[in-house]
Amino acid sequence: MQISPRSALLVIDVQNDFTPGGQLAVPEGDQIVPLINRLAGLFKQVIIAQDWHPAGHASFASSHPGRKPYDVIELPYGPQTLWPDHCVRATPGAEFHPELDLPHAQLVIRKGCNPDIDSYSAFLEADRTTVTGLAGYLKERGIDTVYMVGLALDFCVMFSALDARTAGFNAFVVLDACRAIDLQGSLAAATERMQLAGVGLIQSSDLI
């Protein structure tokens, strides 16, 4: 598969808290890092998403007395899965994995910064209204196709891919450069939602 110059690679949430040893470790989350570094070399445009929550964020179970991680509660914008405290801004857990090596990436987009609203997607917060500005950035730079890699496949990668489609981009997820949390069938559900939305599910061997 030829990578057009109007393509960007979006590297999602490859942060210490999502890799083994972190607060919300995704199984094997560290194993994709060398492949992501290699894939990034194929793209001129590389964008990095970073989960970046204030302490006491609404998505943390610890912010809701009596609740535990992975409970689902109702917030004003809809159901919210509660997580262990993770990716608290300016803490080591929020830093990129130390082996992530993307020197030519030009944009880091931080998300989940609003204390009351979660944001799995790098495009649109969980209220489905507040935009991050990423779609505008891509459009202004003439990008029409976004390839996505990173963590977690069934949360932030999936929502970013769905929103990329809604915003009018061609979207591909490189499956072997992602890992999933897989809570109660969330990986199978994510795969189906992405397929229905026209997200291309590919392997790195389709690009390399």
Contact between 22 and 92 (Cβ < 8 Å)? no
* Contact residue for ligand VGL among 43, 155, 169, 172 (CB under 6 A): 155
Between the alpha carbon of residue 51 and those of residues 19, 89, 96, 128, 170, the distances in Å are 13, 8, 10, 17, 23
* DSSP state for residue 54 in the 8-state scheme: P
Please select the residue that binds ligand VGL; options are 58, 100, 117, 152, rule is CB under 6 A.
152
- Based on the shown chain and the rule CB under 5 A, indicate whether residue 125 belongs to the binding site for Zn ion: no
Residue 13 binds Zn ion (CB under 5 A): no
CA distance from start to end of the chain: 8
Token code pair at residue 64: 């809701």
Judged by CB under 6 A, does residue 163 bind ligand VGL? no
Task: Output the smallest distance, CB 113 to ligand VGL, in A.
Answer: 12
What is the radius of gyration, based on Cα positions, of the chain? 16
Residue found by looking up tokens 């001129």 in the block: 44
> Rule CB under 5 A: is residue 17 a binding residue for Zn ion?
no
Restricting to residues 52-111, which ones interact with ligand VGL according to CB under 6 A? 83
13 in catalytic set: yes
Clarify whether 87 is annotated catalytic.
no
What binding mask, one character per residue, do residues 112-151 give for ligand VGL by CB under 6 A, x or -?
--------x------------------------------x
Sign of CA dihedral 162, 155, 49, 88: positive
CB of 67 to ligand VGL, least distance (A): 15
Whether 44 sits among the annotated catalytic residues: the reply is no
Nearer to Zn ion by Cβ, of 114 and 204: the residue is 114
By CB under 5 A, tell whether 51 contacts Zn ion. Answer: yes
DSSP 191: H
What kind and span of H or E run contains 12? strand 7-12
**Residues of this chain that bind Zn ion (CB under 5 A):** 51, 112
The residues carrying an active-site annotation are 13, 111, 156
